[in-house]
Chain A
Amino acid sequence: MASERWSPSTSERRWARLAAAATAALVAALTATACGGDPPAGLGAVDERNPLAVFLGESLGLIDYAQLKLRNECLAGAGYPQNLETMMDQPVPAFSMFVITPRTFGPTTEQEARRIGFGRDEQAEPSPVVSSDPNYDRAIDSCGGKAWDRLGDDVQDAYYAYFDLGNKISGTLMTTISERLDKSLPAKMLACVRAAGYDADDERQFLKTPRPALLGVPFGTVDPAPDTGWRPARKPGTIEVGPAIPARPYRPTAQESELAVAWLRCREQTTLADQQLTAAISVQKELVAKHETSFVELNPRIRRIAKQATELIGTS
């Protein structure tokens, strides 16, 4: 799980206390809404560090991957091996950022802040496969349907319904967290970065959206990908495979690294970091309660389909 990405620290212990309090409230809220005071059937135990762990993102990613692999194996059997040869070699968990940790809001150590600045390393992308062959188009549709059928009845409905549920949550989660923060924080952050030797070129804009990009410091870039501007020739009857994109590191400028350290210190000094975590757990709790009916209905179906997916493709 993504919660293993960070190491124990003062902020972790502080966060654990916040999480424990919020989880107690969550359990109480869910219990109160269930008939007769019993916990709602099917929802299962709540992760004390992250209420949205009830969202089965790994299972959803596994189902997605299994359908893709089964489809691509079918395509290969029909004489079109391109997709199977270029697809990712493991599932991609869905909505993995629901697992909120201190790292969700930025680097948590000065060492990490220096290394990554305000950027992110880019992950590898598989090749796009583009057909100009109507026979292939018919085969991919047919194989896609067969892949869903092998996973069980009404699988597609549950799959898309669960993505809808995830998107309802992800569409509001971070904006709601931001709305809950103390309204004096932008001014506090500005005062803090000024004390560290920085200033906003547009104070009004910074107080509205206090982003480090407004502090007049040049930012770095991700290393460019080796292939550029690929576009299929679209010759009728052909299937074209675009170049895969390798993983590439983000390289901050020296000034950005320095600012990232100051920014981290200011996030801690102004209590922004603490407030973000507190709000995150609180908002997650509310969202789980708001969508409880969907979780109770869909989680058992997703678990069942994921089990079938594991049996079919051998991925656990």
Chain B
Amino acid sequence: MRKVKAAVAGAVIGLAVLLTPAAAQAEDNGNGNSTCDRYEICFRALESHTRFSVNWNFSHSFYYSYGAHSLIRVYNNDHAWSGTLGNKAIGFWNRDSECRVQILDYDTYGYEWFYADLPRDYRGDAGYSMNDAHKRCNRW
């Protein structure tokens, strides 16, 4: 029978295990430019900081789905400060060539749920506060 489990990881580590993306997506940052270009899926983040008022333009872009924005490091415009994209996105631009894009995160009890479905060519600043992952052409 199962015995009481030893605590082996903190909350952040535990979530990181759950949210680890597939290796195929690990290097995805679109075409590598800091702009949001045609055919990319782009996220804009905003974060207040004691030293910087950071309002990243389109902080990170993708060509594929990605399961853990908490693993994406983004920088402010002069690279003086960085942080994780996480679920800080406040703006989205879906320029994908073929797909709608679902914005996903976990509910209170840890089950994945989608918080938005962005059509092609949609650009907006709606604040879907739960946005730690995204999926292209997803069927659920």
Identify the A interface with B (CB < 8 A): 2, 64, 68, 83, 86-88, 92-97, 105-106, 118, 120, 122-131, 137, 144, 159-160, 163, 166-167, 170-171, 174-175, 177-178, 181, 189, 194, 196-202, 205, 209-219, 221-232, 234, 242, 245, 248, 258, 272, 276
Cβ B111 vs Cβ A229 within 8 A: no
Interface-facing stretch out of B21-29, B50-58, B74-82, B83-91:
B21-29
Contact at A159–B119, with CB atoms within 8 Å? yes
Shortest CB distance A74–B (Å): 14
Contact (A130, B23) CB under 8 Å given A125-B137, A170-B116, A216-B14: no
Residues on A with beta carbons closer than 8 Å to the beta carbon of B121? 144
0 or 1 for each of B8-35: is its CB under 8 Å from A? (1 = yes): 1111001101101011111110111000
Residues of B within 8 A of A225 (CB): 22-25
Interchain CB contact under 8 A, B4 and A202: no
Inter-subunit contact A68/B120 (CB<8 Å): yes
Among A106, A125, A194, A219, contact of B64 (Cβ-Cβ < 8 Å): A125
Across-interface contacts of B135 in A (CB, < 8 A) = 123
With both beta carbons as reference points, the residue of chain B lying nearest to A96 in the complex is identified as B140
Task: Determine whether the beta carbon of B17 is less than 8 Å from that of A228.
Answer: no
Is chain B's interface secondary structure helix, strand, loop, or mixed overall? loop
A120 engages B112 (CB within 8 Å): yes
Out of B10, B11, B109, name the residue touching A105 (CB < 8 Å): B109
Contact of A199 among B5, B17, B26, B117 (CB under 8 A): B5
How far apart are A10's CB and chain B's nearest CB, in angstroms?
Answer: 21
Q: Are B116 and A171 in contact (CB under 8 A)?
A: yes
Contacts of B30 in A (CB 8 A): 231
Of A128, A210, A272, most B-chain CB atoms within 10 Å = A128
Contact A83 B97 (CB under 8 A): yes
| A94 / chain B contacts, CB cutoff of 8 Å | 100, 117
Chain B residues with CB under 8 Å of A128's CB are 39, 63-64, 96-98
Q: Spell out B's residues near A (CB within 8 Å).
A: 1-11, 14-15, 17-18, 20, 22-28, 30-32, 38-39, 63-65, 67, 96-100, 106-122, 126, 128-130, 135-140
Contact in complex: A86, B17 (CB < 8 Å)? no
Residue numbers in B under 8 Å from A197 (CB-CB): 1-5
Are A229 and B27 CB-contacts (below 8 A) given A94-B117, A170-B116, A198-B4? yes
Q: Judging by beta carbons under 8 Å apart, are A64 and B119 in contact?
A: yes
Question: Given A209-B108, A231-B31, A88–B23 Cβ distance below 8 Å?
Answer: no
The contact sample of 17 A-B pairs, CB cut-off 8 A, is A88-B98, A118-B110, A123-B140, A128-B96, A128-B97, A129-B39, A174-B107, A174-B113, A197-B2, A201-B10, A201-B14, A209-B11, A211-B15, A231-B30, A231-B63, A242-B63, A245-B24
Question: Does the CB pair A201–B117 fall under 8 Å?
Answer: no
The residue among B7, B30, B126 with the most chain A CB atoms within 10 A of its own CB is: B7
Considering the chains assembled together, what is the distance between the CA atoms of A94 and B102 in angstroms? 9
| Contact yes or no, B117 A106, CB < 8 A | no
B98 & A87 in contact (Cβ 8 Å cutoff): yes
Q: Which of B1, B18, B109 has the most CB of A within 10 A?
A: B109
Measured between C-beta atoms, what is the minimum distance from B67 to chain A in Å? 8
The answer to whether A92 touches B137, judged by C-beta atoms less than 8 angstroms apart, is yes
Query: Are the C-beta atoms of B20 and A92 separated by less than 8 Å?
Result: no
Contacts of A170 in B (CB 8 A): 114-117
